[in-house]
Copies of this chain bind each other. A is one copy, B any other.
Amino acid sequence: MSEVVESYFEDYEVGSTRRTTGRTITEADIVIHAGQTGDFFPHHVDKEWCATQPFKRRMAHGTLVVSIAVGMTAGTINPRAMSYGYDRIRFVKPVFVDDTIVVEAEVVAKQDHPKSPDRLGRVDERVTVRNQHGEVVMSLVHLYVVEKRGAAVDPQASDAPGSSGSGLTR
């Protein structure tokens, strides 16, 4: 279970990275994801058909790789940050049943929030997923709005994420 660690916009440093332990993508993960999404395309659930294809084996859904990879980065809860989207999700190589993925996240950009530059900033974190061969299989940019230090004491700050206690990091 995740810990709560408060980090303000000023605490994020461009270039800082974190790295998860590994997770094997199992047949069960794919079955459960097919069941959650309703996507039973043969690429994911038909072993016989896959064997006739160049890629040979059942592969994970793109949304499964995104979901697990983002979940793997959910290490600590930051009440001062709110996730508002993702950019440039790219599926570089397939993830097959039994592949093991590791995720690296790096802060790649920081800027003031255009609408509330005094109180809020934007932080971009690049998430890179590699398999057990060290190959990049997926990447995306995770977008956060983060409160600036001192914003909470600003009386105008009442609608900021976090100042109201609603801060989300996922």
Q: Report the bound CA distance from A39 to B132 in whole Å.
A: 21
Within residues 22 to 58 of chain A, which ones have a CB less than 8 A from any CB in chain B?
A: 22-24, 26-29, 31-49, 52-55, 58
Number of chain copies forming the complex: 6
Chain B proximity mask over A53-71: 1 for CB below 8 Å, otherwise 0: 1110010011110111011
Residue of A29, A31, A39, A168 most packed against chain B (CB within 10 A): A39
Main secondary structure of the interface of A (DSSP, over half): mixed
A154 at the interface (CB under 8 A from B): no
A77 at the interface (CB under 8 A from B): yes
Contact of A61 among B40, B41, B43, B170 (CB under 8 A): B170
Chain A: residues with CB nearer than 8 A to chain B? 1-4, 20-24, 26-29, 31-49, 52-55, 58, 61-64, 66-68, 70-75, 77, 83-91, 98, 100, 132, 164-166, 168-170
Measured CB to CB, the nearest residue on chain B to A77 is B41
Q: Report the bound CA distance from A112 to B56 in whole Å.
A: 29
Contact of A54 among B24, B63, B166 (CB under 8 A): B166
Residues of chain B within 8 A of A31, CB atoms compared: 26, 28-29, 32
Smallest beta-carbon distance A156→chain B, Å: 17
Q: Are B75 and A2 in contact, CB atoms less than 8 angstroms apart?
A: yes
Residues of chain B within 8 A of A83, CB atoms compared: 62, 91
Residues of chain B within 8 A of A71, CB atoms compared: 1, 36-39, 63
Contact of A1 among B54, B72, B168 (CB under 8 A): B72
